[in-house]
Structure 1
């Protein structure tokens, strides 16, 4: 069984990002932060209000929003694959990383759809008895639990897709197998990153939003805050993805 050290991966990630920042951050800002900003600007006000305080069913949304959402997700997946290519293959150029990411993107889409279907089936199977025995609160717990478990077990899916030439099903099995003995380490790492990203993004959104509001009023505050939060999220994503690349290398060693 391969050992996995979060501390070692962090040290390697810090050194790698410092050395290759000029390659990593432009890709992250263009393919991770920018799609998030554009999607934010296209989000209907009624959906934003419902997301802040969910009451009743989700409002009807135009087809253009769903198309934009799918496009944004695909661009972010593409960007993450390119970042993993840069992290896993030292010396590769940005152009080569983007070309490899485009070549492997269909596999990632296939694995993601398959994983989504399997997790949905698991939630459905567990939610029915949970609702009958304990009510709606138990269903929410099932959804969160299955989502967390699946997310951790598939945390190394992107590196597997970009580093190997496996198909969708084989990539899914490979990623699942690599995390079998490292669940709690990876889970702890992801939880910490999520908390730090949320705190840093919220702080940037508030501070920059206040400055934007002084210059351009409420609309300027919203736009400036959203851009700042997306930029911070992009930076955090770079470190997280490089960390996952280093953990993947440990897992396959």
Structure 2
């Protein structure tokens, strides 16, 4: 099996982004950064506080309008991500063509998400039923098994998220349906789990540090000009912009890794 080269993917991504920045960044800003920023501004304070420090016993009520806005934001970001992958995988394609292709393949991506979510719901339901049955026999046994099942479920979700990391390029680059796309994405990452995990971990750390630094610096400047509210808004915008830049490079790198996996 050919080993994925993160270094080669990085070199190709840097060259591609430098060449096609005028196509990539407007799409990323309009369909990835802007929807996320708008949703962030719409988030009720108590819900934002819970997202920062989630506790199972103090889940705040989610306004119906916010739930709809969150769903639309997710779909818009998926749409933008597919368009970015189309631009990265098909050199010479126009932005209009990439957006049309993304719109055509978006139902498949939504279908894969529903299948994965359905599988998780079934697994969680079975785990809860097993925990209830064991609790009827022995409460300590049921509690222990509940902790083990919860830990195992978290590991399973984490593992699946890495194995399906090439799902978006599979969907946008092919003509297959939901099940075939899931199968292809799973096959392409076989034997590359740890390499992909390391790559995603580095991107996550880099994005968190860079976004936090930009948010802090620009937030201070915004506070000097427009007070606390200006500091918060300026910091949020700066953090979103930096995060979007890093995400563009990550998506282009994933496109190059996808090409390596297909060639192998």
User: Given the two structures, how large is their TM-score scaled by the length of structure 2?
Assistant: 0.90
Q: Please give the root-mean-square deviation of Cα atoms over the aligned residues, in Å.
A: 1.9
Q: Is the 8 A contact 1:24 1:86 kept in 2?
A: yes
Structure 1 equivalent of residue 164 of structure 2: 154
Structure 1 equivalent of residue 67 of structure 2: 66
What's the offset of the Cα at 1:126? Answer: 5.6
User: Which residue of the other structure, out of 233, 236, 253, is the alignment partner of 1:226?
Assistant: 236
Distance of aligned partners of 1:97 and 1:216 in 2 relative to their CA distance in 1, 3 Å threshold: same
- 1:77-134 deviation digits (Å, cap 9, x = unpaired): 0000000000000000111000100010010000111112223434555675698363
Distance of aligned partners of 1:120 and 1:203 in 2 relative to their CA distance in 1, 3 Å threshold: farther
Q: Is the 8 A contact 1:2 1:252 kept in 2?
A: no
Q: Which runs of 5+ in 1 are unaligned?
A: none
> Which aligned pairs between 1:33-182 and structure 2 lie closer than 5 A?
33-55=33-55, 56-125=57-126, 132=142, 134=144, 138=148, 141-182=151-192
What's the offset of the Cα at 1:176? Answer: 0.8
Structure 1 equivalent of residue 262 of structure 2: 252
The worse-fitting range, judged by mean Cα deviation, of 113-122 and 94-103 is: 113-122
The worse-fitting range, judged by mean Cα deviation, of 145-154 and 92-101 is: 145-154
Distance of aligned partners of 1:60 and 1:17 in 2 relative to their CA distance in 1, 3 Å threshold: same
Structure 2 equivalent of residue 13 of structure 1: 13
Distance of aligned partners of 1:164 and 1:237 in 2 relative to their CA distance in 1, 3 Å threshold: same
Q: Is the 8 A contact 1:101 1:162 kept in 2?
A: yes
The worse-fitting range, judged by mean Cα deviation, of 63-72 and 111-120 is: 111-120
Larger CA Rg, structure 1 vs 2: 2
Distance of aligned partners of 1:133 and 1:50 in 2 relative to their CA distance in 1, 3 Å threshold: closer
Separation of aligned partners in 1, 2:4 and 2:65:
44
Structure 2 equivalent of residue 207 of structure 1: 217
The worse-fitting range, judged by mean Cα deviation, of 186-195 and 209-218 is: 209-218
User: Given the two structures, how large is their TM-score scaled by the length of structure 1?
Assistant: 0.94
Q: Is the 8 A contact 1:123 1:142 kept in 2?
A: no
Separation of aligned partners in 1, 2:123 and 2:195:
23
Separation of aligned partners in 1, 2:66 and 2:17:
34
Separation of aligned partners in 1, 2:145 and 2:41:
37
Aligned length: 253
What's the offset of the Cα at 1:147? Answer: 2.2
